[in-house]
Amino acid sequence: MWVIVSYIAAFLTTISFLPQAIKTIKTKDTKDLSLITYIMFVIGTSIWTLYGFLDNEYAVFFANIVTTFFASIILFYKAKDVINERRNNKK
């Protein structure tokens, strides 16, 4: 029973980043997103991915590898915006 619950939770938390990733890709707008939050989140989900792999916790592993992927897309666009903003402010 708890295995099923863990897979449902993993699916929901993983898929929750898909709409934000799609919106970010489409609009290229990240001004309301926190760079620090996404840095910490990607590091955290990467560590959870490693944990899931090393402990053979497949729900943890697969959920976090996908979540890390989606969050990394968002982080990439946010970092790119921050870098461009800093370059423009130096001019």
Helices (H), 1-91: 2-15, 17-27, 35-54, 58-90
Q: What is the CATH number of the domain that holds 71?
A: 1.20.1280.290
Which whole number is the average pLDDT over 73-77? 95
Give residue 46's domain range. Answer: 2-90
- State pTM to two decimals: 0.84
Q: How many domains does the chain have?
A: 1
Instruction: Yes or no: say if 86 and 74 are a contact pair by the CB < 8 Å rule.
Output: no
Q: pLDDT, tens digit, for every residue of 18-73?
A: 999 999 999 989 989 999 999 999 999 999 999 999 999 888 898 899 999 999 99
Q: 56: buried, middle or exposed (CB in 10 Å: 19+, 13-18, 0-12)?
A: exposed
Residue 79 has pLDDT above 90, yes or no: yes
- Distance of alpha carbon 51 from alpha carbon 69, whole angstroms: 16
Closest CA to 60 of 69, 50, 70: 50
Determine the pLDDT at residue 51.
97
Determine the pLDDT at residue 7.
82
